[in-house]
Each structure stands twice: as structure tokens, then as C-alpha cells.
A and B are shown apart, each in its own frame.
Chain A
């Protein structure tokens, strides 16, 4: 068990560029979450997958954001036409999703800076 892995750890981009982040959850965890965190705040929910199905998206997730989990394993989060307000830490988390075990484990995050 290597934990939740996120790549890259840091991303610096210019406004208007597209960026894509990857998350590899703990193996056999069927729930995967994306959160966003800005300085001094707790993580804010963005979206949630149960296996390959994206079951909910937050209102925070504008049309420029898209997330996929094509085979129910790793997930990608893409931001198109980045804006300075997108600068934040993007956190991925996974959970076994059983009734007896809902523990949520986070990766180390991708720190995005939009210049």
C-alpha cells in the first residue's frame, strides 16, 4: 500500500494555459474525491467518483474544470484556460467506501500557481 499518489507536486503555468493533474488512489479504493485548498482554509469539495462514475460535482467546479476516472482506478483533473484565481492546492483523496470503512486518505496534493 503506497498511499494516494499525486503528480505533479507543483505546477506553475501562465494564465490561459491548460493543466492536467493525475491521482492514483490506494488500490481497491472505489471512492475517489478531488478537493481544493487555499491558504488558511480547509479543503473544499470539488467532485466525487464511485468507481468510474462521477456522481457529484460542486458548484465550485466551473465548465473549465473536468475530471475523469476512466477505468475506476487513477483519475485526472484538467483545468482549461487557467485563471489566477485557480491558484490553490489540489488534493485527491480515496476511500474504501464500505459501510464499515469510510476512512478518507489524502495525497500530498498538487500546488498550482497561475501567473
Chain B
């Protein structure tokens, strides 16, 4: 769902389970996407990126899936750990004609229960 003000969507998972965080992006012309992790009081931390000519990319314990047909991104975190607790944002690059600005969604809070 969408967040309104302080009410971020929250995903609660048990330690060791897999997490899936979803994001709907807005611009069909966006061709580059990044997932960020943000801990309280810190700046967003780069996790993984994907270009629009791919539909899947894997990193260490993380996988990003891109469905351009429905303008949807997901971030899968394997074997979720307490240190993964944070707010996760997807960002879309609006392309050269928009000065390569990144537009951010409102985020999903991941709560990992030990």
C-alpha cells in the first residue's frame, strides 16, 4: 500500500526467513533503478541496481526483479538478519531529458524479529 505521512508500510519477518519488498514506479521511460537501505539517522545506502534491459539481478543475499509491463520492482532478501532492519526505498532514474534525476518512493520499513 501507499504511505501517508508517518505511516510507512511495514513488513515484519522472522530472522532467517526471506523478505520481499515491493515497489511500484511511476515513469515508463525510467531505465535505471536502485534499491537503497536507510537506517535511522543515516543517509540511504546503495544496495543493488538494475537497468531496464534486465529483469533480474542478484547480489549477495539480495535479488532485484523488474517487471516493466506493470512498472514493478521487488527486492528479495535471503535469510533476513536483524541487521537488515531498516527502511528500504526504490529509486527510478528519470533519464537524460530529466537531468538523470532519481525519484524515490515513500519506502517500506522492514522489521526483523529475532
Residues of A within 8 A of B (CB): 4, 6, 31, 33, 35, 39-45, 48, 50, 55-56, 91, 93, 95, 97, 102-109, 111
Chain B residue nearest to A41 (CB atoms) is B106
Residues of B within 8 A of A (CB): 3, 5-8, 32, 34, 36, 41-46, 49, 89, 91, 93, 99-107
**Pick from A6, A91, A103: contact of B34, CB under 8 Å:** A103
Chain B residue nearest to A43 (CB atoms) is B104
Q: What chain B residues lie within 8 Å of A103 (beta carbons)?
A: 34, 46, 49
- Report whether B6 and A31 are in contact in the complex, using a CB–CB cutoff of 8 Å: no
- Report whether A42 and B107 are in contact in the complex, using a CB–CB cutoff of 8 Å: yes
A23 to chain B, nearest CB (A): 11
Q: What chain A residues lie within 8 Å of B46 (beta carbons)?
A: 103-106
Inter-chain residue pair count (beta carbon < 8 A)? 64
Could you tell me the distance between the alpha carbons of A6 and B42 in the complex, rounded to whole angstroms?
11
- Report whether B102 and A39 are in contact in the complex, using a CB–CB cutoff of 8 Å: no
Q: What chain A residues lie within 8 Å of B41 (beta carbons)?
A: 111
B20 to chain A, nearest CB (A): 19
**Pick from B5, B34, B89, B100: contact of A42, CB under 8 Å:** B89
Known A-B contacts A31-B100, A48-B99, A97-B100; the reply to A91 vs B6 at CB < 8 A is no
- Report whether B101 and A56 are in contact in the complex, using a CB–CB cutoff of 8 Å: yes
A18 to chain B, nearest CB (A): 24
- Report whether B7 and A40 are in contact in the complex, using a CB–CB cutoff of 8 Å: yes
Show 21 A/B contacts (Cβ-Cβ < 8 Å), sorted by A.
A4-B43, A39-B6, A40-B3, A40-B5, A42-B91, A42-B104, A43-B44, A44-B104, A91-B43, A91-B44, A93-B102, A102-B32, A102-B100, A103-B46, A103-B49, A105-B46, A106-B36, A106-B43, A106-B46, A107-B43, A108-B43
Given A106-B46, A108-B43, list of 19 further CB < 8 A pairs? A35-B104, A40-B8, A41-B106, A42-B91, A42-B106, A43-B89, A43-B104, A44-B104, A48-B100, A55-B99, A56-B99, A102-B100, A103-B46, A103-B49, A104-B34, A104-B91, A106-B36, A106-B44, A109-B43
